[in-house]
Each structure stands twice: as C-alpha cells, then as structure tokens.
C-alpha cells in the first residue's frame, strides 16, 4: 500500500513537472564565453540574460516564462554549429538568439536556415552572410560591414572644412571576416562568395577614393597571435598618412594599436577605429591617446532610443539603469546589441502569437519604418536579405575621457561638435 502511494505521488509530481516544463518557453544561445572571442561573448551573455530576466519579471512571453539556455562554444565554429543542432533537436527550443562574430555567424546561418529557425543576428556584419539566400535572417545592427565606410566618409565631408580633410590614409586591419569587410568597402574591392567564387558586390571605386583620400599604406595582421604592434605602428608613422584607419576585430586589438601609435609618436589628423567604444578602451589607452579617436557604433548610452519590452515602454535609459543595477557597471554596445536581439525575438513571438518560427519570420519581414521592431538600438525593419533598412551608424568620438556622439547631427539631442584635427596621442 505504501509503495503504491509512493508511486502515485511520484507520478503526480513528474506529471506536474512536465506540465510546468511544457509551459516554459525555451530559447537557446551559443556564445563564445571562453576562447579568443570571450571578451565580447561574455558581454553578449549579460545582454541576453538581463533581457530574459526582465521579460520574466513582467510575466514572460504569451504568459510563459522564458528559459534561456546558454552554451559556451569556446569561440569554435564547429562547436557553435553542434550546439545549435542540439538546441533544436535535443533541447527542443522554441527560438534561438544568434552568436557573436561573423566568423561564427556564417556557418551557424546555414544550420538555422536548414531548420527554418528565425536567425536574429547580434554580430555578423559581413555581406556574404546575407547573400546566401537564407529566408529568416535578421541583422540587429546598422548594415553590412562593407557599407560602414559610407558613414565614416560622411563625417569628413559634412563636418570638416573643405580642403582641410585628410588627403592620405593608412588602412591596417585584422585578417578577419568583419575587418576585411569594412576594408573592402573603403577600398572599393569586389566581394565574392568564397564557396562559389561568385561576385556578390562590386564596391568600386570605394568610399575613400570617392572622398579623394589616397591610400598610402595597406597592411593586415593575422587573426590570432599577433604581438608586433610597435613595429606596425612604426610603419604607419613612416607612411606619413594623415588618417589612420584601424579595423580591429576586438577592443583588445584597438587598445594595442592605439597604445603603440602613442609610443611611436604618430601624429595623424584623424584616427578611425572599428572598435574602441568600450570602457576597457579608455582604461587601456588613457584620455590623451583616446581623445579625438572616432569609432562607429550601433548604440550609445545617451541616445534617446524608444523601445518596448514585454509590451511596455522600455527606453534606452531604462536599459542602462537596469544593467547598472544588475551588473554594477555601465553597459556597452556588446551588451546592448544582444539585448535588442532578445527584444526582437520577444516582439516576433508576441506579434506572431506563437513560437512558430515561420510565422515569426513573416511578422519580422512585415516590419516597416512606421511599424518596426522597437529596441534599445532604435527601430528595425529589414530588406529581403535581412539587412536593416534606413539606418546609419552613430559616429562617436572620445572627448576628454567621455565617448560622445558627433554624427549624424540634428537627429538626436546631445550631439557634440566634431574634434579635428587630432592633437597627437
């Protein structure tokens, strides 16, 4: 009799647990928590976790609590692929969040497309990712990296007095998906699909040529293991370039490059870096070296973006405040972007009224300028490839230890005058 009671109770508990589990909405994210991409990977994790926590506190999505499953892919593409396969086939997740970096996003894109999952990409700007014909790809940044140079050159054209802009440039970059993509746009190269060798885009003549800036030095460093920063900085200095373009794959590389330029006594008129908006950058290079360095970003803490979370208004300032309460530090874009991805998935599920990824994809594709996805990065609507429409970068510049936004002017409050030329390091 006792045994029968025990079995009945156990069965009831198991059934109850299963019922609760069935109500939980599962979302998987494979991130580089360790390995070479771990600096940004950990910040992405914080963005996803905070967003999920706030959604759950507000009652969840469609009345279901969200269970976030984060796996560490160790910065390895094969592991990332395996983990997304596991999320879909073993964990039976309802949706996924994208991973960090073009290097990991490119192979993961094929897997998520195979299973018809909505692929919300926080970081993966190389144009070739969006030319593979994947249906449900949505990039939560401004545009493909190849087009970044448009906003860089716009700053020079619009904010520097005619005839005083830089006439020569040195482009140094990591030999990496993202950095090479930005360089391709600046230099006007042809973009090809590496698998088929088919031409995707011809970016000639390139944004620099278009602005009348001559490239006097072009150098790449290997994706990993490069230590000879002083030698590179010395070559840049000797090139005499008036503008230094450092296309780094991580904030760490931006720190190394900037410190080395300071050490060798380089004196360019303008420095543009693809990374360096993070707090570690100013800590690593110091105020003087950072002063005047221009960086493109998708997000800035002071931009008054209006968004929603769990159906209620949740603005950029609310995100900054919530992040500081949760983690005790100010967020940077490496946490803001995944937060926006999470908002996008939440709005897609709510908008579709279900976790059917096909319906979620249709709902996201149907977004327009007036009916967008609203995130802490602003409004999003996408073209058929999955690239955001009608968005431009926020061009920022370090001013006395503070990252200020200088462009576009007239769009937000708080834009400060562009500082030019740079007064040394």
Partner 1 sequence: MAAILQILILGLALGGVIALMGSGLSLVFGVMRIVNLAHPSLIIAGAYITYWAFKASGVDPILMLPVSAAIMAAIGVLLYRLMFERETNSVKYSEMTVLLTFALAMMVEGVLGGLFTNTQRVTSPDYATEAFFIGDVFIPKGQLYAGLVSLTIITALTLFLKYSRLGYAIRATTQNREAAELLGVNVNFISILAFAIGLGLAGAAGSLVSFVFSFFPAKHWEWVAMLMSVVVLGGMGSILGTVVAALLLSVVAAFVGTWIGATWSTMTFFLALFLILLIRPQGLFGEKPEMA
Residues binding partner 1 (CB under 8 A): 33-36, 38-39, 41-42, 75, 172, 175, 219-222, 224-228, 230-232, 234-235, 238, 250-252, 255-256, 259, 262-265, 280, 283-286, 289, 425
* Residue 234 or 392 having the CB closest to partner 1: 234
Instruction: Return the closest-CA partner of residue 277 out of 359, 319, 333, 221.
Output: 333
8 A C-beta contact, residue 129 and residue 109? yes
- Within 10 angstroms of residue 210's Cβ, the number of other Cβ atoms is 15
Cβ closest to partner 1, residue 198 vs residue 287 = 287
- The smaller minimum CB distance to partner 1, of residues 55 and 273, is found at 273
Residue 420: CB partners within 8 Å, gap ≥ 6? 159, 160, 164, 269, 270, 292
Query: Which residue number, 283 or 384, has a Cβ lying nearer to partner 1?
Result: 283
- Structure token pair of residue 413: 């409050």
Which residue shows structure tokens 């040529």?
Answer: 209
Q: What is the DSSP string of 373-402?
A: EEETTEEE-B-TTSPBSS--PEEEEEETTE
CB of 127 to partner 1, least distance (A): 22
CB of 17 or CB of 329, closer to partner 1: 329
Tokens (6 digits) for 110: 């094929």
CB of 85 to partner 1, least distance (A): 24
Q: Which is nearer to partner 1, 207 or 299 (CB)?
A: 299
Give me the least distance between CB of 6 and partner 1, in Å please.
Answer: 41
Closest CB 424 distance from partner 1, rounded Å: 12
Q: CB 280 → partner 1: shortest distance, Å?
A: 6
- Residue 252 buriedness (CB in 10 A; 0-12 / 13-18 / 19+): middle
User: Closest CB to partner 1 among 152 and 264?
Assistant: 264
CA 215, CA 113: separation in Å to the nearest integer? 39
Q: In whole angstroms, how close is the CB of 50 to partner 1 at the nearest point?
A: 15
Q: Work out how close the CB of 281 gets to partner 1 at its nearest, in angstroms, rounded to a whole number.
A: 9
Q: How far is the CB of 166 from partner 1 (least distance, A)?
A: 22
Which residue number, 283 or 371, has a Cβ lying nearer to partner 1?
283
Q: Nearer to partner 1 by C-beta: 146 or 253?
A: 253
End-to-end CA distance of the chain: 83
- CB distance 376 to 305 below 8 Å: yes
* Residue among 341, 391, 387 at smallest CA distance from 128: 387
Structure tokens at 139: 């990039």
CA distances from 146 to 121, 162, 200, 308, 310 (A): 16, 26, 11, 30, 34
**Coil, strand or helix at 304:** coil
CA atoms within 13 A on the CB side of 33: 9
Q: How many residues does the chain have?
A: 425
Separation between Cα atoms, residue 120 and residue 109, nearest integer Å: 10
**CA-to-CA distance for 76 and 247, rounded, in angstroms?**
22
Q: What's the closest the beta carbon of residue 423 comes to partner 1, in angstroms?
A: 16
To partner 1, the closest distance from the beta carbon of 183 in angstroms equals 13
Q: Which is nearer to partner 1, 79 or 409 (CB)?
A: 79
Peptide bond into 408 cis (omega under 30): yes
Phi/psi-derived region of residue 210, left when phi > 0, alpha when psi is between -120 and 50, beta in every other case: alpha
């Amino acid at each position: 009799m006792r045994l029968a009671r025990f079995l009945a109770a156990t069965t009831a508990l198991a059934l109850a647990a299963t019922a609760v589990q069935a109500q939980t909405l599962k979302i998987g994210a494979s991130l580089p928590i360790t390995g070479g991409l771990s600096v940004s990977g950990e910040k992405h994790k914080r963005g996803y976790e905070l967003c999920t926590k706030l959604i759950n506190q507000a009652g969840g999505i469609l009345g279901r609590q969200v269970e976030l499953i984060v796996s560490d892919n160790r910065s390895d593409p094969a592991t990332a692929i395996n983990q997304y396969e596991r999320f879909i086939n073993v964990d039976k997740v309802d949706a996924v969040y994208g991973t960090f970096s073009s290097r990991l996003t490119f192979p993961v894109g094929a897997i998520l497309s195979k299973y018809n999952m909505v692929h919300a990409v926080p970081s993966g700007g190389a144009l070739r990712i969006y030319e593979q014909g994947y249906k449900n790809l949505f990039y939560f940044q401004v545009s493909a990296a190849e087009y970044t140079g448009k906003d860089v050159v716009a700053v020079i054209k619009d904010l520097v007095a005619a005839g005083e802009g830089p006439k020569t440039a040195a482009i140094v970059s990591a030999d990496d998906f993202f950095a090479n993509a930005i360089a391709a746009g600046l230099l006007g190269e042809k973009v090809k699909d590496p698998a088929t060798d088919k031409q995707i885009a011809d970016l000639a003549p390139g944004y620099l040529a278009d602005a009348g800036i001559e490239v006097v030095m072009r150098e790449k460093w290997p994706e990993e293991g490069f230590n000879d920063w002083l030698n590179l900085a010395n070559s840049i200095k000797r090139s005499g370039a008036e503008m230094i373009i450092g296309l780094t794959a991580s904030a760490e590389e931006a720190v190394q490059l900037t410190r080395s330029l300071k050490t060798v006594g380089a004196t360019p008129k303008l420095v543009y870096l693809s990374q360096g908006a993070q707090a570690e950058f100013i800590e690593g290079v110091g105020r003087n070296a950072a002063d005047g360095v221009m960086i493109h970003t998708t997000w800035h803490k002071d931009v008054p973006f209006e968004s929603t979370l769990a159906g209620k208004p949740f603005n950029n300032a609310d995100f900054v405040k919530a992040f500081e309460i949760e983690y005790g530090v100010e967020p940077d874009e490496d946490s803001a972007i995944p937060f926006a991805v999470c908002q996008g998935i939440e709005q897609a599920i709510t908008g579709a009224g279900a976790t059917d990824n096909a319906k979620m994809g249709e709902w996201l594709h149907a977004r327009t300028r007036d009916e967008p996805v609203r995130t802490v990065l602003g409004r999003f609507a996408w073209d058929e490839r999955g690239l955001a429409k009608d968005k431009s970068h926020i061009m920022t510049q370090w001013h006395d230890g503070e990252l200020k936004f200088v462009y576009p002017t007239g769009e937000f409050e708080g834009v400060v005058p562009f500082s030019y030329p740079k007064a040394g390091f």
